[in-house]
Structure 1
Amino acid sequence: MRALFIAFALLLVSGCAYRAQEAPPGSWQAQRATLAQLQDWQLSARLGIITPDERGSLSLFWRQDSDDYRMNLTNVVGSRVFDLSRRQGTIQLTDSEGRQHTAGNARDLVFRLTGWDLPVEQLAYWIKGLPGEADQVEYDADGRPQSLRAHGWQLSYLGYTRIDGLWLPSRLNLTHDTTTLRLAINQWELKP
């Protein structure tokens, strides 16, 4: 039964992503400044998590509002796994039983409570296809980030889609030590 669940979860992750699209040469480089200024956005996605101890498929809703955010993860039946938010510098996680936990670092808090290594702060940039200054980046034939190495993470951008004139990632894989994250973005919503 567990093998059937894993196969179903992986099918969901692979089947609900945008198709990769070609971009005009230089289009991503031209939009880099716009991506850096894009502070208010939200997305919904399927998130596959693979660790030595477990495999799972979750639904992810993420709303970014400048430095503040809300990340909500639910399982395949719609039950909350956790709700993580940052408001005015305070990071709070509400677990599946409704208990609230606070910390100064989101990555450490998630790892302490779930055992999952999620690079929450960096992911807010990487998920837009925006590498950091010190990140090692390789670009595809269209000039968009194809792979990225930073903070012990290896990212592969597997697809892009055009939303409101911007090329945004639709699928990406992240690996760090024994953790693999597979993200298939269903919907982007950009706010001016």
Structure 2
Amino acid sequence: MSATRVIVAMVGLLVLAGCATAPRTDSPASDPLDSWTHRQQILSRQPAWRMTGKLSIQTPEEGWFASVGWEQRGEQFTIDLRDSFGRVVARIEGDDQRVMLTRHDGSTARAASPETLTRQLFGFALPVSGLRYWVRGLPGARVDSEALAATRRLDSSGRLKHLEQSGWSVDYQHYQDAEPVALPGKIAVAGHELRVKLVVEAWETPAVSAQWR
């Protein structure tokens, strides 16, 4: 092989090696506040979603553990709580005006809100109305923007890391891939002598909620 061909071959190998070993350069990260605003806009256009996971509730006296399935369609929601055998032991369903709990034996209880219902039945008010938003990494409805800005912490991707609202402290410990944006995978909520932990196993956010009919 001629010297010229050897040089050309060596240059070619060096170029290929550089292409193989050069670290990937992602586009520069946008401002977290801009990303946060963009996330809120995207999620606000998705009023229908499903989530399954594991839920734990701890009070000063005792604790509860269950598998949870949550389906939200606008203001309407259905929450199934299952035991370790996968049996539905309780279903909470309703909207922003009324809510009903159905036990595994078919008995029911009703109230104007899930917080009122859970307080009547269990002695504590589970913040379902807030969790509806927190579980997707959003502040609850009717939020005080100044109070939110004072307590909110974002990560470098513009996702919530910490939030305080209505006497509740919400910490986001993990996010998981989802479409069209990453969604919380592990959440810890504390307040009002109650601790709630949620580990999300799967998200489903179809573009058209009518697909579930």
Aligned residue-pair number: 169
Larger RCO, structures 1/2 (Cα 8 Å, 6+ apart): 1
Gaps of 5+ in 1: 1-23
Give the Cα–Cα distance (whole angstroms) in 2 for the partners of residues 160 and 83 of structure 1: 27
Write 1 or 2 for the structure with the bigger share of strand. Answer: 1
Note the aligned Cα RMSD (angstroms). 1.8
The corresponding residue for 2:203 is: 188
* Structure 1 length-normalised TM: 0.81
Tell me the CA shift for residue 88 of structure 1: 8.0
Q: CA deviation at 1:77?
A: 2.7
Out of 82, 87, 92, the position equivalent to 1:74 is 82
Give the letter for the 1:69 counterpart. Answer: F
Q: Which runs of 4+ in 1 moved over 4 A?
A: none
Question: 3-state DSSP class of the match of 2:41?
Answer: helix
Is the Cα contact below 8 Å between 1:68 and 1:89 reproduced in 2? no
- Percent of aligned pairs sharing the same letter: 27
SS at the partner of 1:77? coil
- Given that 2:98 and 2:113 are in contact with CA atoms closer than 8 Å, whether structure 1 keeps it comes out as no
Structure 2, unpaired ranges of 5+ = 1-28, 208-213
Alignment pair present for 1:140 and 2:144: no
Which is helix-richer, 1 or 2?
A: 2
Question: Is the 2:96–2:113 Cα contact (8 Å) retained in structure 1?
Answer: no
Conserved? CA contact 2:97–2:113, under 8 Å? no
1:104 aligns with 2:112: yes
Question: Normalised by the size of structure 2, how large is the TM-score?
Answer: 0.73
1:143 maps to a residue whose letter is: G
Q: Which residue of 2 aligns with 1:7?
A: none
Equivalent position to 1:63, from 36, 52, 71: 71
Contact 1:29/1:144 (8 A) holds in 2: no
Residues 1-192 of structure 1 correspond to what in structure 2 (within 5 A)? 25=30, 26=32, 27-86=35-94, 89-132=97-140, 133-134=143-144, 135=148, 136-192=151-207
The one-letter code of the counterpart of 2:165 is: A
- Cα distance in 1 between the residues matched to 2:58 and 2:187: 14
Q: In structure 1, what residue type is equivalent to 2:186?
A: R
Aligned-residue offset at 1:87: 5.1
CA distance in 2, matches of 1:87, 1:99: 20
